Structure 1
Amino acid sequence: MLQSMTGFGSARLDSDQYSICVEIRSLNSKGMDLNVRTPRYLNDKEYEIRNMVTKALVRGKVSVTVDYSKNKSQKAKNNINRELLQVYYNELSQAADAVGASKQDLFRLALHMPEVLQQEQDEEAGDADWSIVQPLLEEALKSINTFRADEGKALTAEIMAYIDRIRILLAEIDKHDPVRMENIRNRVRGHLTEISNSESFDKNRFEQEMVYFMEKLDIAEEKVRLINHLHYFTETVYLPEPTGKKLGFISQEIGREINTIGSKANDATIQHYVVEMKEELEKIKEQINNIL
């Protein structure tokens, strides 16, 4: 079954000490284009994160974000260096006396002097280690793959509708083809009557050229090959592994047969069907760009 390259997955853990959120987003891309954003303490795990994501998602323009934040109750606390505060306050007070200035804001000024307020981290509120983040990453990967699979089901239904439409148009071409060939024969008979009275007319040469001409107009082989390509495309859609690139190659072969039918048929009705088939094939190619 097809999978879309577009998807979103997330996982979150909230504890008394911290909150962790892992988010993964993906769009279509020819290969794996991966961007990873993590807290500094996980920098040494980026290689492992990349391996996990590449193995799980295979292809796409993927963004992985790990957000980490301490809860307010666990954030840094301010401690006052009382001895240093007293030194600053005394020096400011003496300076105020010397110049006759007011002492109204001296305490606030002294409190904000360098190193008076010191931040102290709660020893129990350390960073969440890899053993906690890894399961969240695995959960987010599972979530985005579920999203991709659901999108793939919709893509499968849409693409197969286009394939069925090409089959219907091919059946119309097959139905009309005998009429086309009979029209060609009638035109040839008319020309034969006109030129058969000529003294330079070579009947054997003419018959050989007409056989060659009729073979060049015959589209039977192209119709058979196109049917086979459509069957192969359908089988590939329902394979379990990623098939986006393979479907792209099969679509190219389908396009070649459609173009050849149009160029060899030399018939207005068939040309009309060929144009419609090309339209359906273009819709398929647009959707394949987003298939894993």
Structure 2
Amino acid sequence: MIKSMTGYGQSICQFDEYRINIELKTVNNRYLDTNIKVYKQYQFLEEIVRDIIAKKVSRGKLDVSIQFENVKKDDRVVTINEEVARGYYTAMKQMAEIFGIEDDISVSKLSSFQDVFTVEKKEQDKERISNDVVSVLNEALDNLTLSRKSEGERLVKFFEEEIVIMSDIVDKIEKRSPVTVEEYRNKIKEKVEEYLDGVQFDESRLLTEVLIFSDKINITEEIIRFRSHLEELKKLLMSDVPVGRKLDFIIQELNRETNTMGSKCNDFEISKNVVELKSEIEKIREQAQNIE
């Protein structure tokens, strides 16, 4: 079943240190255009995310939002500079002995000296973060696919209805085509008889003229090709692989055959049917822009 390029998918998952919320929104586009919105400290994820998306989505403008929520703020590591602290402690003991004062050294006093502690930002565990994001992204992509398939089902129904309408119009054109030849024959005969006013004439010449006209306006091949394109269109609608570009080509061919039919047949009824046919083709062309 075909998929629409319009869809939405989301996945939220809670982990030990954060909650990841990924949203995917797609609209139609000729090629795959992925726009990723993520906090600066997580930009290392972009290449991974693009690679995964490219394997599951072939066309469309895709907006990706990756949010890390409820992040624990214990992202700093504090360590004791033992050698520095020991130096301060020894100096304070010596000071007490030299000046004969009470030795009241405490941890709080010792920790107030410069460089006793070193505060460093905890290094990101990029591998763990990447694995967490990949798992959430895959679920969001699955939900996006369901959304696009659902919209695709609606498009299939629309195309099936249009195929029936176009087939009916082509049937009318096919039935009308021989009638135009007969009408032309009668019209020519009436004019000749009126001009000759009862004088006998060679009807074989008239037949030759009618045959030339008939060959000139013959649209049998165009009708056969048009119906063949409709059958191919039906097959594409049931395909599980991206068919958007093939669909564009078939619609171009349908339009080409319709234009040829219109240019060959100098008949009001057929011209009216051709206009109707072109209108229906334009409808499916517009909807085809949204198919992957």
TM-score by length of 2: 0.76
Trace 1:29-68 onto structure 2 (pairs within 5 A): 29-68=29-68
Structure 2 contact 189–206 (Cα < 8 Å) conserved = no
Displacement of 1:202 in angstroms is 9.5
How far apart, in 1, do the equivalents of 2:69 and 2:121 lie? 14
For residues 103-158 of structure 1, give each alpha carbon's deviation from its aligned partner in whole angstroms, at most 9, with x where no partner exists: xxxxxxxxxxxxxxxxx8997x9886111111001111111011101100000101
Structure 1 contact 23–64 (Cα < 8 Å) conserved = yes
Trace 1:223-262 onto structure 2 (pairs within 5 A): 223-262=223-262
Confirm whether residue 138 of structure 1 aligns to residue 138 of structure 2: yes
Alignment partner, residue 215 of structure 2 = 215
Alignment partner, residue 163 of structure 1 = 163
Amino acid in the other structure paired with 2:139: E
How far apart, in 1, do the equivalents of 2:46 and 2:125 lie? 20
How far apart, in 1, do the equivalents of 2:174 and 2:203 lie? 32
For residues 44-88 of structure 1, give each alpha carbon's deviation from its aligned partner in whole angstroms, at most 9, with x where no partner exists: 2321211111111111001111101235x75789xxxxxxxxxxx
For residues 216-240 of structure 1, give each alpha carbon's deviation from its aligned partner in whole angstroms, at most 9, with x where no partner exists: 1122222111111111111122122
How far apart, in 2, do the equivalents of 1:254 and 1:225 lie? 8
Q: 1:129 is paired with a residue of what secondary structure? A: helix
Structure 1 contact 75–122 (Cα < 8 Å) conserved = no
Structure 2 contact 21–69 (Cα < 8 Å) conserved = no
Structure 1 contact 75–121 (Cα < 8 Å) conserved = no
CA RMSD of the aligned region, Å? 3.1
Structure 2 contact 7–26 (Cα < 8 Å) conserved = yes
Alignment partner, residue 10 of structure 1 = 10
Q: Can you give the 5+ residue segments of structure 2 that lack an aligned partner in the other structure? A: 77-118
Are residues 126 and 252 of structure 1, via their aligned partners in 2, closer, same or farther at CA, if it must alter by over 3 Å?
closer
Amino acid in the other structure paired with 1:220: T
TM-score by length of 1: 0.76
Amino acid in the other structure paired with 2:219: I
How far apart, in 1, do the equivalents of 2:266 and 2:169 lie? 17
Trace 1:40-189 onto structure 2 (pairs within 5 A): 40-71=40-71, 74=73, 129-189=129-189
How far apart, in 2, do the equivalents of 1:160 and 1:5 lie? 19
For residues 155-192 of structure 1, give each alpha carbon's deviation from its aligned partner in whole angstroms, at most 9, with x where no partner exists: 01011111110001111222223322211111122233
Displacement of 1:212 in angstroms is 2.5
Q: Can you give the 5+ residue segments of structure 1 that lack an aligned partner in the other structure? A: 78-119
Alignment partner, residue 290 of structure 1 = 290
Question: Which deviates further from its counterpart, 212-221 or 20-29?
Answer: 212-221
Question: Which deviates further from its counterpart, 269-278 or 10-19?
Answer: 10-19
Question: Which deviates further from its counterpart, 250-259 or 32-41?
Answer: 32-41
Amino acid in the other structure paired with 1:284: I
